[in-house]
Structure 1
Amino acid sequence: MNMAPVLHVSGDQPLYQQLYAYIKGEIVSGHIPAGFRLPSIRQMAVLAGVGKITVEAAYQQLVAEGYLISRERSGYFAADIEKWVEAEATGTAPIMPMPKELKKNKGEHLSYRYNFHGSVVDTEHFPYALWRSCIQEALQRYPEDFAFYGDDQGEWELRLELARYLRRARTLICEPEQIIIGTGLQQALSFLSLMTRDTHPVAAVEDPGYADARVVFQHHGFTLAPIPLEEDGLSIEALEKSGARIVYVTPAHQYPHGMVMPASKRLRLLQWAKQTGGLIIENDYDGEFRYNAKPTPSLQGMDQAGTVVYIGNFSKAFSPALRMDYMVLPPMLLRRYLEEFQAYPSPVPRLQQRAMQLFMEKGYWEKHVRKMRTLYQRKHQLLLQAIHTHMPPSVVVLGHSAGLHILLEVDTTLTEAELIGAAAEREVRVYPTSRNWLSSQAPPRPRIIVGFGGMKEADIEEGIRRLALAWFS
């Protein structure tokens, strides 16, 4: 094979880079076949009219990138390179276009000025200075953390603080040994699915209920049993007939309808679990925020038989960006976890756990929760007042005693999608409930989720006014 690369001494690229590019192009195009032995460094220097150092630099770069193979005492050989690799990289071959329906604008849902998202929290009152100080103190106090993975269940000191807080504020019956620190509800449910799928193949879910929870159960192969809601929560009678032995519930603030399960129904639910050997997964996603009375005690705190898994988080009261939650396992599941699931260490960074531990140790956490409860109660009142002022009586407010969202049931001929679209034309973003239904028993009137946690107080009334104009003008 005749190799006589043409290099330009006065070119913009160094000579070794020109030689490198020439040989690379010949290999990728197939002009230099796989296994072909290239001229020695001395021979190539003569062919290219350059010094040996230039050739050696080009060869070494080609070896480093995998285009050449260096064999001791044998020389340099072309590697087996697929032709399309360079073609795609240089754009000379067609690249599969991204389907239009898969494209998504970054932060599209945040582009609305009046964004009534149910999971966005207030950032103006986030304790930035205190949180920063806890991170800095954690770096100074625990430098050895960088050398180890940490406790599989999460840092012991954080679990100790959590257990104290949960016993005091949420009436839980728990010890630090029962707590597992995780990165969100989906991860917690996925982990629980691994531990329960073989013994509890049918999972009951509220209908309507949190769609993402349902998806996790489906991905793990559960048969789902939709349980309809009554005025005070899921139907215990329907649960008893479902054949399920595991149920996912949101008793402190049902999602999305917002009702609070009373003590009498909670006792019936616990009795069902005890009699059937069932398991209750209690998602207390925003239990700190109830506005007409004190926060509702946890279902787990009423459990005497060890049938409840409690899941809480730092998202609503602090920040969803942390992606940090926790599970409290009953003794039965804790035993199985310790025997079979120690290969799943906590995915939450140790520094973040340490910072939260210090934030709780110093009393900042409960002070912050009280502050946010007051703030959200004020926003909640502003929202209800704005609805009363601007919406017609045919709009019914549901689930308005707790949490960071309400439902608006709208008496209209418009569909859910049409209501949301009309709102968007007025720069208002509200959210559907339809995806939360598993069965086809959707209500005759559309119900729209209206969150208020992340809304500025000054924007709440204007957002509702625009919403009323979009729907009724």
Structure 2
Amino acid sequence: MSRSSGPAELPLAISRDVPESIPTQLAEQLRAHILAGTLAPADALPSTRALAARLDIARGSVVAAYEQLSAEGYLETSKGGTRVTKNLKLQEVLGARSGGTQPGHLPRSQQVMLSNGEPLVAGGGVRPPRPPVPPRNRTINLTPGSPDTSLLASTAWRASWRVAAAEPTANYGASGSPALQYQLAEHLRTMRHTVCAPHEIMVTAGARDGFRLLLSSLRTQRRERPLRIAVENPGYPSLYQIPAVFGHEIIPVRVDQHGLDPASLPAEAPDLVLVAPSHQYPLGASMPVTRRLELLDWARENNAYIVEDDYDSELRYVGDALPALTALSRQHPDDRTIMLGSFSKTLTPALGLGFMLAPVSLHTDILRLRRVMGNPVSALTQDAATHFFARGGAHRHIARMRRVYRQRRETLVTALAQSRLPDWVNVLPMDGGLHLVLEFTGVYASAGYETLVCETLMRSGVEVAALGDYWAHAALTSRSLPPTGTDVPSDAQRTFGVVLGFGVEAPHRLQAAAQKMTQVLDSMGVA
């Protein structure tokens, strides 16, 4: 079985206010992850030194926890490090804990953890990648959403495409390559704490492709009537403009510091709610678990579905990556969440690759429609991606880019602080992603001033995006909005400012951009 080559990224928390010792807390949490399926046989664990540094605890505590789990048979240590025991008899362990439950009656997550997969092996050396070419234009590109793709062409990346091209596959079925589905299931398990069977994953050409497919399937299921879709306001225009184009009813819902509030949803329940719970775009809110559970309860009570836009959750710089909303939903028999994923931010938008994970109640209808429409992702792309994931290339690249982006984020935040922005400009807190938001306050919080700032910055050689462009009323026609009861805010209720992307520029250019922005904003202040 081909497992993810890098250490699994797990949510672990140590408390010094409980009676249990730190080694006991750590051992209990790791044991729970093994039994829940988020850690599977042969998975690598972080080194004792790395985990101790991450949790800010003594290395001896990690050593003691690992030794305890090794003595219990959960872990094994070799020259390659510490791993979950390869031949761990989870059937026996789980049976003993549940009073003799038979393997055939295990919960779905545990059955998935015990299933077999076919590994793909790719080999051969290639030339080392060329160093990135520095930008030739003088304009500093701080438009949000653009990742740095100059570091992607590693040996593993080039070898994956060479192997895929050497033996091209003619075609795959509607769901995609079974080998790629397996690798995506492993990616969701280790990176997003979501356990699923490979066949439940639909390979897509990105989040928008998956969303279009979902809308088409649901419209047929709901007898061809237009769907009512609640969207975060402000939110990600490229997704909520899609249903508007197809004549569906868009219901903008205001977000607060914790994301979308289920209590703000209209009395006439929508069919879908589109949310980004782990990292709301563009304001950056992370939805707490209490609100996530409220949203899932609301969906079950109203026969609605939650569409989780999981666009860049791996790029989190403060604390552990948050488990996906889908991971919570799948623990309930009435799963109401559809996860849309894409690798445009973590790898490259040029790949045109994503996935959709839908509940059983929708999967059959979506698959039937996909068979009619065909899968738009080429077999060559799917094979190359399969090799790249199987060789650990994706895991290593995402970990590397997280470090690179964290450094660039810190550089930009520090440079803005040192440049002393005017007191009417706030830097909103942002725990992850590829952008920052500068919020305008007081008399400067207006659409006209926002536009003026963006135009002046462009003439000064810094390209940014206007925060006002992310509000629903700025992107949708009045015909696309419901006639009454909408939550489209007036200018006085909206947030204005600029959105700054730091994905593509080098640190020294980010520092230069911060200085230019401060100069422009200072010059535009009112005495």
Aligned to 2:489: 440
Q: Quick one: which amino acid aligns to residue 349 of structure 1? A: S
Counterpart of 1:386 in structure 2 is 415
Does the 8 Å contact 1:180/1:328 carry over to 2?
yes
Matched residues, percent identical? 27
Give CA deviations for 1:115-136 in whole Å, capped at 9, x if unaligned: 1121111233223433111111
1:328-407 aligned within 5 A: 328-390=357-419, 391-407=421-437
Cα distance 1:173–1:241, how it changes in 2: closer, same or farther (>3 A)? farther
Deviations, residues 308-331 of structure 1 (Å, cap 9, x unaligned): 110111111111111211111111
- Displacement of 1:394 in angstroms is 2.8
The count of residues paired between Structure 1 and Structure 2 equals 361
Residue 240 of structure 1 and its aligned partner are, at CA, apart by 4.9
Q: Are residues 256 and 445 of structure 1, via their aligned partners in 2, closer, same or farther at CA, if it must alter by over 3 Å?
A: closer
Which letter maps to 2:353? M
**Contact 2:148–2:504 (Cα < 8 Å) also in 1:** yes
Aligned to 1:453: 503
**Paired letter, 1:215:** Q
Which residue of structure 2 lines up, in the alignment, with residue 408 of structure 1?
A: 438
Secondary structure in structure 1 of the residue aligned to 2:286: coil
1:296 Cα deviation after fit: 0.9
SS of the aligned residue for 1:154 comes to coil
What is the rounded CA distance, in whole Å, between the counterparts of 1:454 and 1:447 in structure 2?
21
Q: What amino acid does structure 2 have at the position aligned with 1:188?
A: G
Distance 1:258 1:112, change over 3 A: farther
Whole-Å Cα distance in 2 between the matches of residues 341 and 349 of structure 1? Answer: 14
Partner of 1:156: 178
| 1:246-325 correspondence runs (5 A) | 246-303=272-329, 304=332, 305-325=334-354
Structure 2 unaligned residues grouped into runs of 5+: 1-135, 473-487
CA offsets 1:344-397 (integer angstroms, 9 cap, x no match): 222111111111100110111111111111111111111110111112343211
CA distance in 1, matches of 2:490, 2:410: 31
CA distance in 1, matches of 2:365, 2:495: 46
Give the partner amino acid of 1:465.
Q
Deviation at 1:170, TM superposition (A): 0.1
For structure 1, which segment, 264-273 or 210-219, has the greater mean C-alpha deviation from structure 2 after superposition?
A: 210-219
Alignment partner, residue 466 of structure 1: 516
CA distance in 1: counterparts of 2:138 and 2:231, whole angstroms: 32
1:419 aligns with 2:453: yes
In structure 1, C-alpha distance between the alignment counterparts of 2:449 and 2:138, rounded to whole Å: 21
Give 1:189 shift.
1.3
The whole-number CA distance in structure 2 between the counterparts of 1:190 and 1:177 is 20
Mapped pair 1:231 → 2:265: no
Pairwise CA RMSD of aligned residues? 1.9
2:462 corresponds to 1:428: yes
CA distance change for structure 1 residues 236 and 327 in 2, over 3 Å: closer, same or farther?
same
Contact 2:203 2:356 in 1 (8 A): yes
- State the alpha-carbon separation in 2 of the partners of residues 444 and 158 from structure 1: 43
SS of alignment partner, residue 294 of structure 2? helix
Cα distance in 2, alignment partners of residues 159 and 120 from structure 1 = 26
CA distance in 2, matches of 1:136, 1:173: 31
* Further displaced range: 388-397 or 201-210: 388-397
Matched position secondary structure for 1:151: coil
Equivalent residue letter for 1:220: F
Structure possessing the higher radius of gyration over alpha carbons: 1
2:158 is aligned, of 114, 128, 132, to 132
Superposed CA deviations along residues 169-224 of structure 1, whole A, max 9, x for unmatched, are 10113221121122222222111110112527211101111112121111222111
CA distance in 2, matches of 1:419, 1:435: 14
CA 1:339–1:170 in structure 2 vs 1: closer, same or farther (change >3 Å)? same
Asked whether the 8 Å contact 2:272–2:304 carries over to 1, the reply is yes
Paired AA for residue 254 in structure 1: Q
- For the 8 Å contact 1:190–1:220, the answer to whether it is kept is no
Letter paired with 1:186: R
Conserved? CA contact 1:197–1:220, under 8 Å? no
Residues 315 and 339 (structure 1), Cα distance of their counterparts in 2 relative to 1, 3 Å cut: closer
Normalised by the length of structure 1, the TM-score is: 0.73
Q: Which amino acid aligns with 1:238?
A: S
SS in 2 for 1:375: helix
Question: What does residue range 49-198 of structure 1 map to in structure 2 within 5 Å?
Answer: 113-140=139-166, 142-143=167-168, 145=169, 148-198=170-220
Structure 1 residues 270 and 334: CA distance shift in structure 2, 3 A: same
Is the contact between residue 206 and residue 343 of structure 2 (CA under 8 Å) also seen in structure 1? no
Does structure 1 conserve the Cα–Cα contact (< 8 Å) formed by 2:342 and 2:353?
A: yes
TM-score, scaled relative to structure 2: 0.66
